């Protein structure tokens, strides 16, 4: 993306840990001036033994320490609120009241302010006062139930899916609210970001496909209902590939690759409604062909045939991949700021 499209946008972050601070980090990546307000003890993420995670979520930010339970710092905070365009918070209801950070109080100080509130279950509904995290959101929203082998237990992902999709939702909400304010002449607004509702968006196809009377959808390993071949396959050199070639034209080309381009195979597997009746058979044929060849040979054959396939990369593979490198998909970030390192310059910039 050319330039820094959010240059001049001021974002005040009163949030800790992982999900909500990613909203500030993403807005900072786009050029916003993000000021992170930390309590005297600092964001707990600083002390959780995950320095890389702290550097990740605190990138592109300036740090200021404010004791929002104290009078003088409350006045400073009000000044920053008046100067801000967006405020991101994930405070508990009790702390929100104690620190004077309810939406009504913030909006009274700055009617143009967009407030993005992040919580596990949202600000309304019977579960709104429950604590939570991305892990709970993944479980509550159904993603955990749909993850794992068909005959195994539900599994949590090994990465922070819930936290990260929450952050994307928060960024979208913040920018939509800013557009409403700045382009349509409205005042600020309150963006209520729950952590489980972005998971429901991931689950949308599964939810929409249930008829409401049969048994609810169940996890099925790397397979999906209605699409074959789609799976993770092991190669002869003990590597893995992910293949998803489920349209009729893709299957026709895949049959050629695996040496099954004959009348019988085309009749059994060529049309979607026919191959779903023998999905296990087709998947096994693809798996057997792949298992007899190295990953490089498998990749080359399916790519040449324009059947969608990708290697199952680990972190080393990602960092060494020429395509990732060419597009700048992985960047080195500066270490997160020292606690309170930018108080003087922030006050000068925002309150002058």
| Residues with catalytic function | 163
Structure tokens at 239: 């590597």
Residue 172 neighbours by CB under 8 Å, 6+ apart: none
d(CA 236, CA 257): 17
- How far apart, in Å, are the Cα atoms of 190 and each of 89, 117, 137, 327? 11, 7, 21, 35
Structure tokens at 155: 């599994």
Q: Contact, 84 vs 165, CB < 8 A?
A: no
- How far apart, in Å, are the Cα atoms of 254 and each of 103, 159, 299? 56, 32, 12
What is the b/e burial string over 33-69, where b = at least 16 CB atoms within 10 angstroms of the residue's CB?
bbbbbbbeebbebbeeeeeebbbbbbbbbbbbbbebe
């Amino acid at each position: 993306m050319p330039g820094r499209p959010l240059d001049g946008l001021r974002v005040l972050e009163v949030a800790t840990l992982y999900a909500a601070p990613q909203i500030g980090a993403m807005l900072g990546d786009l050029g916003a001036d993000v000021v992170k307000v930390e309590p005297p003890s600092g964001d707990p993420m600083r002390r959780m033994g995950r320095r890389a995670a702290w550097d990740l979520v605190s990138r592109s930010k300036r740090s200021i320490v404010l004791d929002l339970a104290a009078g003088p710092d409350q006045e400073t905070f009000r000044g920053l609120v008046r100067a801000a365009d967006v405020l991101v918070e994930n405070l508990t209801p009790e702390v929100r009241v104690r620190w004077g950070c309810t939406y009504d109080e913030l909006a009274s100080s700055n009617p143009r302010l967009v407030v993005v509130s992040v919580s596990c279950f949202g600000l309304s509904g019977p579960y709104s006062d429950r604590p939570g995290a991305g892990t709970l959101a993944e479980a509550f929203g159904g993603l955990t139930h749909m993850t794992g082998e068909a005959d195994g237990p539900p599994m949590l992902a090994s990465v922070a899916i819930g936290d990260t999709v929450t952050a994307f939702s928060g960024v979208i909400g913040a920018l939509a609210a800013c557009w409403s304010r700045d382009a349509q002449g409205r005042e600020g607004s309150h963006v209520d970001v729950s952590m489980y509702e972005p998971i429901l968006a991931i689950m949308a196809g599964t939810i929409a496909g249930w008829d409401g009377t049969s048994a609810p959808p169940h996890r099925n390993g790397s397979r999906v209902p209605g699409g074959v071949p789609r799976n993770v396959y092991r190669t002869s050199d003990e590597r893995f590939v992910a293949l998803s070639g489920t349209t009729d034209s893709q299957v026709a080309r895949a049959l050629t690759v695996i040496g099954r381009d004959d009348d019988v195979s085309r009749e059994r597997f060529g049309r979607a409604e026919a191959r779903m009746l023998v999905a296990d058979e087709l998947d096994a044929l693809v798996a057997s062909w792949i298992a007899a060849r190295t990953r490089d040979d498998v990749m080359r054959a399916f790519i040449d045939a324009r059947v969608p396939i990708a290697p199952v990369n680990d972190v080393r593979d990602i960092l060494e991949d020429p395509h990732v490198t060419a597009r700048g998909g992985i960047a080195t970030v500066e270490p997160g700021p020292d606690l309170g390192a930018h108080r003087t310059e922030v006050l000068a910039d925002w309150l002058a």
